[in-house]
Amino acid sequence: IAGITQAPTSQILAAGRRMTLRCTQDMRHNAMYWYRQDLGLGLRLIHYSNTAGTTGKGEVPDGYSVSRANTDDFPLTLASAVPSQTSVYFCASSDSTPAPQYFGPGTRLTVL
């Protein structure tokens, strides 16, 4: 059982480029989340999805988009990357109730 996988593990990206971070879970969890973690700021919610076919904005959604075509996958897209999007990105999933979230290993993204 893999749990949650993320790809790529790390990426260096030129500013202005488009980038999609991938996230897949095999736990059949309904809810999925994307966070960014920056030093001193903790985990901040970017977007979430309560169930396949629905998405919502979190605390810091600007510059990011998501889709949830099925239960397992929840990709995060940066349409035109900027240096302030340099961060570690974590995907997480949980059952529908306010339940513990389980995190993927993260993607380290550097935008130059």
Partner 1 sequence: RKEVEQDPGPFNVPEGATVAFNCTYSNSASQSFFWYRQDCRKEPKLLMSVYSSGNEDGRFTAQLNRASQYISLLIRDSKLSDSATYLCVVNGSSANSNSGYALNFGKGTSLLVTP
CB-count burial class (<10 Å; 0-12, 13-18, 19+) for 36? buried
Nearer to partner 1, 54 or 77 (CB): 54
Is 97 near partner 1 (CB under 8 A)?
yes
Contact map string, positions 1 to 30, toward partner 1, x by CB under 8 A = ------------------------------
- Give the residue, chosen from 21, 76, 81, 104, that forms a contact with partner 1 under the rule CB under 8 A: 104
Q: Which residue has the tokens 């900027």?
A: 82
CB atoms within 10 A of CB 5: 13
Strand, helix or coil for residue 55: coil
Nearer to partner 1, 31 or 81 (CB): 31
CA distances (Å), origin 46, targets 1, 2, 72? 26, 24, 18
- Give the residue, chosen from 25, 33, 66, 78, that forms a contact with partner 1 under the rule CB under 8 A: 33
Residues that bind partner 1 (CB under 8 A): 31, 33, 40-43, 45, 48-50, 56-59, 88, 90, 94, 96-106
